[in-house]
Amino acid sequence: MKYILASGSPRRKELLSKVVPEFDIIPAVSEENCDKDEPSEIVEELSFQKASEIFHKNLTESREGFVVIGADTVVSYNHRVLGKPSGTREAFEMVKMLQGQTHSVFTGVTLFFADNNEIKHVTFSECTKVHVAKMTDEEIQDYVDSGEPLDKAGAYGIQGLFGRYITGIDGDYYNVVGLPVARLYQELKKNELI
């Protein structure tokens, strides 16, 4: 079986290597378009779009023996979905909102594959609750100035400098990083893709 990760995220690349030993990376490039409101539905829809794009665009001949994996992650707090911040000001506002609170991280994953010349897909999402310590404005600004939050949903990376402010999680740690490793492995196994 050959695997393709439809993401250029170095974090997802590292996490997928815990599930399958070898895979290619072909990042999805189409503009994301979603009309869903619920965080789980948003990440499922966006992961579907990414995996579908790469499966249909790059596998024009035999699709047998290939699995395309698409993923998307959002942070949700107080009925508000937080994607990647547009700049340092928005990053500061997001971290300020999350400090001292508990929020949810949703990652959606879609697997596209062919079985007996029939195109199939499996889509699922995982949710992890994240507890953040209280932070001073100076701590928030120092974190934003590090540049770390600018390319991450919710303006933070649990695996980086922000880890010092995480007081606990309920659920899969890797889900917060960007790929629910255990669930992905189970879904691949269940669909005889591994």
| Residues acting as catalytic residues | 72
Sign of the alpha-carbon torsion through 48, 190, 125, 153: negative
Q: What is the pLDDT of residue 6?
A: 96
What's the pTM? 0.91
Domains of the chain, earliest start first: 2-190 (3.90.950.10)
d(CA 75, CA 152): 10
- Contact predicate 105/128, CB 8 Å: yes
- Contact predicate 141/169, CB 8 Å: no
Write out pLDDT tens, residues 48-74. 999 999 998 876 666 778 999 999 999
Write out pLDDT tens, residues 83-135. 889 999 999 999 999 999 999 999 999 999 988 888 999 999 999 999 999 99
Instruction: Report the alpha-carbon angle 187-178-86, nearest 5.
Output: 145
